[in-house]
Amino acid sequence: MEKELQEFSNEVIEKLDNYVYRLIDPRNGDTFYVGRGKGNRVFNHMNCALSIEESDEVTDKIQTIREIHSAGLKVIHVIHRHGMDQKTAIEVEASLIDAYPGTTNIMGGTGSNDYGPMNAIEIINKYSAEEAVFKHKILMITVNKSILERSIYEATRCAWKLSKTKAEKCELILAVKQGIVVEVFTASKWLPATKENFPELHLDIPNRIGFIGNTAPEKERNLYLRKRIPEKYRKKGASNPIKYSF
């Protein structure tokens, strides 16, 4: 088999500057990861996937790369656009992540939580909806991408990198899509993000947790459902899906 390309020459790196890339699965032609960077960043994922131990955290991205190699194939590395300043690269990366909803990216593109793809009705709802007034200790979880693949409850409940101690202090959990509350939950317990605790997961995810819970009572639910998240929690460019009101 022809040796797989693992790095660019210094001459090529100098010409590339900031770039945005896609990793493509040769078995089906699907883009399974979008990223940006400089130098040999595009190859780092492949090198990491083939060098980490089985005991290390294995994400969907890493698992996909390993499966491609075990099939005797190579990941296809596509430089989608190059020669950009960092600000432009961030915008292009975010747009591509939004355009390929089936990717293994854990985080959405920068700004996609509030400024990603929306239809015209969602745009109207987003900017004309009444702003929520928080009367509880609130945990906000943005589910823009995962809500397309699972129920709102499953998309909201796992798997998140957050403090279990702080999460347990929350009175209500808001599922947020494009800045609008789409459901309100209460949590009865917080558990490690394993397949045993959450059957919808494909693998155990170390250092992440999720909750077992229910839809909030109607009185509390009606306080927040279809309301707009206050502006101070929606900083432009923020990509972290987790926010607290306290």
Q: Which tens digits make up the pLDDT trace of 220-235?
A: 999 999 999 998 887 6
3-state secondary structure at position 209 = strand
Identify whether residues 55 and 172 lie together within a single domain.
no
Residue type, 81: R
Total count of domains within the chain: 2
Which residues neighbour 31 within 8 Å (Cβ) at sequence distance 6 or greater? 22, 23, 24, 25, 100, 102, 103
Identify whether residues 86 and 122 lie together within a single domain.
no
- What is the C-alpha separation between 189 and 186, in angstroms, rounded? 9
In a domain, 1, yes or no: no
Identify how many contiguous H helices and E strands the chain contains and give both numbers: 9, 8
Has residue 140 got a pLDDT over 80?
yes
Identify whether residues 121 and 216 lie together within a single domain.
yes
- What is the C-alpha separation between 60 and 78, in angstroms, rounded? 19
Identify whether residues 69 and 122 lie together within a single domain.
no
- 13-49: b or e for each residue (b if 16 or more CB lie within 10 Å)? eeebebbbbbbbbeeeeebbbbbbbeeeebbebbeeb
Identify whether residues 175 and 100 lie together within a single domain.
no
Largest CA distance in the chain: 64
> What backbone torsions phi and psi does residue 67 show, to the nearest 5 degrees?
-65, -40
- What pLDDT sits at residue 170? 97
pLDDT band at 129 (very low <50, low <70, confident <90, very high): confident
Q: Is the model more confident about 40 or about 150?
A: 40
Has residue 85 got a pLDDT over 90?
yes
- 86-97: b or e for each residue (b if 16 or more CB lie within 10 Å)? eeebbbbbbbbb
Has residue 3 got a pLDDT over 60?
no
Has residue 90 got a pLDDT over 50?
yes
Closest CA to 105 of 143, 153, 59: 59
- What pLDDT sits at residue 231? 86
Final residue of a structural domain among 48, 74, 105: 105
Which residues neighbour 57 within 8 Å (Cβ) at sequence distance 6 or greater? 205, 206, 207
Q: Is the model more confident about 133 or about 124?
A: 133
- What pLDDT sits at residue 245? 95
Q: What is the domain range of residue 92? A: 10-105
- What pLDDT sits at residue 34? 92
Has residue 116 got a pLDDT over 90?
no
- What is the C-alpha separation between 244 and 134, in angstroms, rounded? 11
Q: How many CB atoms lie within 10 A of CB 3?
A: 6
pLDDT band at 181 (very low <50, low <70, confident <90, very high): very high
Has residue 210 got a pLDDT over 70?
yes
Identify whether residues 232 and 161 lie together within a single domain.
yes
- Which helix H or strand E contains 89, and what residues bound it? helix 86-99
- What pLDDT sits at residue 95? 86
Final residue of a structural domain among 82, 105, 128: 105
Mean pLDDT (the chain) is: 85
Confidence (pTM):
0.57
State which of 54-63, 140-149, 165-174 shows the largest mean pLDDT: 165-174
Identify whether residues 64 and 120 lie together within a single domain.
no
CATH number at residue 22: 3.40.1440.10
Mean pLDDT of 24-52: 87
Has residue 172 got a pLDDT over 90?
yes
- What pLDDT sits at residue 1? 43
